[in-house]
Amino acid sequence: MVELYHFWSSVCSVRCRMALEEKGVAWTSRYIDLFKFDQMKPEYLAINPGGVVPTLVHDGQPVRESTIINEYIDAAFAGPRLVPADPLKAARMREFIRQCEDGFDGIVKLTLVRYILPKLLNRWGREELIAQAARRPLKYYQDVHGRAVRGEIGEAELARARGMIDELLDVMERTLDPGPWIVGAEYSLADIAVAPYLFRLYALGAQQFWSKDRRPRVNDWYERIAARPAFRVAVSWPDESGGGYEEVGLRSQAVGVAAADRGGLRASDPSARAERRS
């Protein structure tokens, strides 16, 4: 049995949904609502002491951290290879994924202030959010969430976050020569690692980050990956307790996936179809 503990807009959750869909793995959804602080419940901390999503549980054994989960998915299940067989290409894939991880702080801070914090404030008072930030097991999230709620992430820090994102996108633009994928002809976990970043940036206004004139290779790559069924399924998981990006005045990319076509078997819907072959 394959279970994925995940949240609708978590970039790391989207990565793992993409990998499961690309491999055609049947999986069961265990939805962790970060806006209700489900990640802090004792039963979830028992399988993920860091209190972050996603967590993959395969036959009772938890696997944590999205990049590790995705390598596990590729190794453990049949389906299209997502790690190149050529050792050098596999190394290049992992180098790029590391660069994505280095840019994670930029994505977190920019979208925390523009998207996550406004949604949380629609549900909770500021004092409650400060208390919840202090409960986070990982020091990084204690710091960044606490400072965001207290209004301590200012324009200078957001500008540095934007600079990190621009640097990653510039690396991506160079890496995509010749393309069409991050490591050349082979679609891989490198593409899956960065795709959710761009989906979230799209909600902030894609034109400020890439276009046919600015970073045209990134623009073309995004059009290709956005057409993949696995991407469309992975990003279409609904905000189960809110109004998505639109709730706070942003606009997510329309992907046109019907609810019946989404991957995964919801734990609350045992009659749903578990199998997905994209």
Higher-confidence residue: 150 or 204?
150
Set out the domains of the chain in order of their start, with CATH numbers.
Answer: 2-266 (1.20.1050.130)
Name the DSSP letter for residue 112. Answer: I
- In this predicted structure, the answer to whether residue 269 has a pLDDT above a threshold of 70 is no
Q: Say if residue 3's pLDDT is above 70.
A: yes
Rounded CA-CA distance 173/226 in Å is 17
Tokens standing for 104? 């994670």
Identify any residues that bridge with 63 across adjacent strands, giving them in sequence order: 56
Place of tokens 């995004």: 222
DSSP 69: H
Average pLDDT, the chain: 90
Q: What is the pLDDT of residues 4-62, one digit of tens each?
A: 999 999 999 999 999 999 999 999 999 999 999 999 999 999 999 999 999 999 999 99
- pLDDT, average across residues 229-257: 83
Q: Which residues contact 5 (CB under 8 A, 6 or more apart)?
A: 30, 31, 32, 44, 47, 48, 53, 54, 55, 56, 57
CB burial of 136-154 (b: ≥16 within 10 Å; e: otherwise) equals: beeeebeebbbbbbeeebe
